């Protein structure tokens, strides 16, 4: 059983980036250039965006493109400019990335990918080489679709393909790959009528596979039949094996119809991507946030990592599946989230469509004024493990002596201090003991019983307070001791379980300064353990 963990400041391993075509997710490679996010949403104040009232155009209507030779008149290049935070490169100010799209209504309503536009400050659309401004009408993170409204009207437009999408169907991929302003059209066939649509940046119910070559910048462009009707919306590819993927019209059309009414679908307003840390900890990296969105209103920022939603760890398989399943299950409802903010080393909890983010429980904040040497500097940290390798945690680098012998097959234990023997003999030596177990004696015990089971500090210190502990993920209690050994040393002892009660954690930290309270916070926010 994999136990919940938060890994602060760990380097990120292989990330399937939704920008620049450099990512890989189960063999899929992103097929767009640098992603920057979306323009300010038109209609976010509850009013209906311009051009969204008429959702269908009659077949054969004037301006409808029916010949491949005219396809370029209805396929557009989109340049999205804004600032976002990349997990590898950090903050990128005024970055511009390009993708493709296609017009579906003469009033200028067009379809593209969510990852092409969400979070951008401006959207510039090139129609037949002429620049036009555009605004975001609505988007869907999970379906990776967005609808934009291009200024002006009287545009040529594309109709949707309504016949069954069968293997062997001749298809053509249209768009503006590699940021080239020249229109490109490639030919292929549908090689698989239905396959998984889970990627690191989306979770589409099903997509089609084809071999009409696409490149970064093709994202959001149409895959059309010989009569120019839209079979699917291109969104990903694996060039090394010649496999390319598109969101079929049978999936896309229903989402697009809702988006053009200004109603987001499976969305909180982020340009995000699932990431997995070197120790197996996972989350959704937030590259950009759309102003006025539920994510923005909750306080989520670019550079944050969404680690849990409704208590469920997300991104564990490197895809957005869990994240999107939660959004679909709890549509328009409050969703509890936990956020890891690397910039400030904070763990924040709050609710999408509910309570704004607040800092999770902190011993340094709660007890900092209770300990001596309040001006002590902080520690540098290293990651240690027990002898089995099943328990890892960050501790001060100065606590260089480590004893990781497990207590038994069900109970893992690790101790760390600058001098373990001195830590065991004297109260004024900073250090810690961390124990995690799913043994019956731990599972059946209450937090009070787990705390009472440790007599080392209750016998030699003064118990100042026993308080409840709740950081939004773990629940239990902690004891705060002072006057340990008749001196100025203190101690914090914590006993907690997750909401499902499937295991128990007990941590004891001997405290000489506020830096040791910060160490207790770091230990509780970085441990990763497998038990059972």
Q: Cα(306)–Cα(303) distance, rounded to whole angstroms?
A: 10
Q: Cα(244)–Cα(177) distance, rounded to whole angstroms?
A: 14
Q: Cα(517)–Cα(430) distance, rounded to whole angstroms?
A: 10
Q: Is 470 helix (H, G, I), strand (E, B) or coil?
A: strand
Total residue count of the chain as it appears in this document: 532
From the candidates 72, 115, 228, 479, give the one annotated as an active-site residue.
115
From the candidates 52, 219, 293, 513, give the one annotated as an active-site residue.
219
Handedness of CA 292, 297, 300, 306 (dihedral sign): negative
Residue (of 25, 63, 16, 263) closest to 145 by Cα position? 263
Q: Is 153 helix (H, G, I), strand (E, B) or coil?
A: coil
Q: How far separated are the first and last CA of the chain, in Å rounded?
A: 6
The CA-based angle 439-443-444, given to 5 degrees, is 115
* Three-class HEC string of 267-303: CCCEEEEEEEECCCCEEEEEEEECCCCHHHHHCCCCC
Q: Cα(135)–Cα(151) distance, rounded to whole angstroms?
A: 8
| Eight-state DSSP code of residue 371 | S
210 a catalytic residue: no
Q: Cα(4)–Cα(436) distance, rounded to whole angstroms?
A: 12
**What does the DSSP assignment read for 117-137?**
HTT-SEEEEEETTEEEEEEEE
**Element containing residue 117 per DSSP (H, E):** helix 114-117
502 a catalytic residue: no
Residue 317 token pair = 């398989």
Instruction: Name the maximum alpha-carbon separation found in the chain.
Output: 91
144 a catalytic residue: yes
* Close Cβ partners of 225 (under 8 Å, ≥ 6 residues apart): 161, 169, 170, 171, 172, 231
Q: Cα(124)–Cα(135) distance, rounded to whole angstroms?
A: 9
From the candidates 144, 250, 266, 386, give the one annotated as an active-site residue.
144
Residue (of 191, 242, 250) closest to 215 by Cα position? 242
Cβ atoms 413, 393 nearer than 8 A: no
Cβ atoms 78, 124 nearer than 8 A: yes
Q: Cα(117)–Cα(527) distance, rounded to whole angstroms?
A: 36
Catalogue the active-site residues.
115, 144, 219
């Amino acid at each position: 059983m994999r136990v919940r963990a938060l890994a602060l400041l760990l380097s990120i391993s292989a990330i399937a980036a939704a920008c620049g075509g450099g990512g890989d997710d189960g063999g899929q490679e992103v097929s767009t250039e640098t992603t920057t996010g979306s323009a300010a949403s038109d209609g976010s104040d509850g009013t209906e965006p311009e051009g969204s009232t008429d959702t269908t155009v009659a077949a054969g209507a004037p301006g409808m493109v029916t010949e491949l030779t005219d396809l370029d008149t209805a396929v557009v290049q989109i340049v999205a400019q804004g600032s976002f935070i990349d997990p590898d490169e950090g903050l990128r100010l005024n970055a511009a990335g390009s993708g493709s799209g296609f017009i579906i209504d003469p009033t200028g309503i067009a379809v593209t990918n969510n990852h092409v536009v969400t979070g951008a400050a401006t959207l510039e659309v090139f129609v037949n080489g002429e620049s036009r401004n555009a605004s975001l009408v609505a988007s869907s993170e999970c379906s990776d679709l967005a609808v934009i409204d291009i200024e002006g009207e009287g545009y040529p437009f594309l109709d949707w393909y309504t016949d069954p999408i069968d293997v062997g169907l001749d298809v053509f991929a249209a768009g503006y790959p590699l940021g080239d302003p020249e229109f490109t059209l490639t030919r292929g066939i549908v090689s698989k009528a239905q396959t998984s649509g889970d990627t690191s940046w989306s979770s589409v119910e099903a997509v089609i596979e084809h071999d009409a070559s696409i490149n970064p910048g093709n994202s959001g462009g149409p895959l059309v039949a010989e009569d120019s009707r839209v079979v699917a919306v291109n969104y990903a590819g694996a060039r090394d094996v010649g496999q390319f993927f598109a969101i079929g019209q049978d999936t896309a059309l229903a989402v697009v119809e809702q988006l053009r009414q200004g109603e987001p679908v499976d969305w909180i307003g982020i340009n995000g991507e699932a990431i997995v840390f070197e120790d197996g900890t996972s989350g959704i990296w937030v590259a950009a946030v759309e102003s006025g969105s539920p994510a923005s209103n909750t306080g989520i920022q670019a550079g944050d990592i969404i680690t849990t939603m409704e208590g469920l760890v997300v991104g564990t398989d490197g895809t957005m599946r869990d994240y999107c399943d939660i959004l679909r299950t709890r549509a328009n409802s409050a969703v509890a989230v936990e956020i890891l903010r690397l910039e400030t080393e904070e763990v924040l909890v709050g609710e999408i469509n509910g309570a704004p983010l607040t800092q999770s429980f902190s011993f340094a904040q709660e007890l900092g004024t209770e300990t001596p040497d309040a001006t002590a500097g902080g520690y540098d940290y290293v990651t240690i493990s027990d002898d089995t390798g099943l328990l890892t945690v960050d501790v001060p680098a100065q606590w260089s002596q480590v004893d990781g012998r497990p207590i038994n097959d069900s109970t893992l234990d690790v101790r760390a201090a600058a001098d373990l023997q001195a830590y065991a003999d004297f109260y004024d030596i900073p250090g810690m003991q961390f124990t995690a177990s799913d043994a019956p004696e731990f599972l059946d015990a209450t937090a009070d019983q787990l705390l009472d089971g440790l007599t080392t500090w209750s016998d030699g210190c003064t118990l100042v307070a026993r308080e409840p502990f709740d950081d939004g993920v773990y629940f239990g209690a902690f004891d705060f001791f002072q006057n340990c050994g008749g001196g100025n040393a203190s101690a914090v002892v914590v006993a907690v379980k997750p909401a499902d009660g499937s295991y128990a954690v007990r941590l004891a930290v001997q405290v000489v300064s506020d830096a040791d309270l910060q160490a207790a916070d770091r230990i509780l926010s970085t441990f990763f353990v497998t038990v059972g």
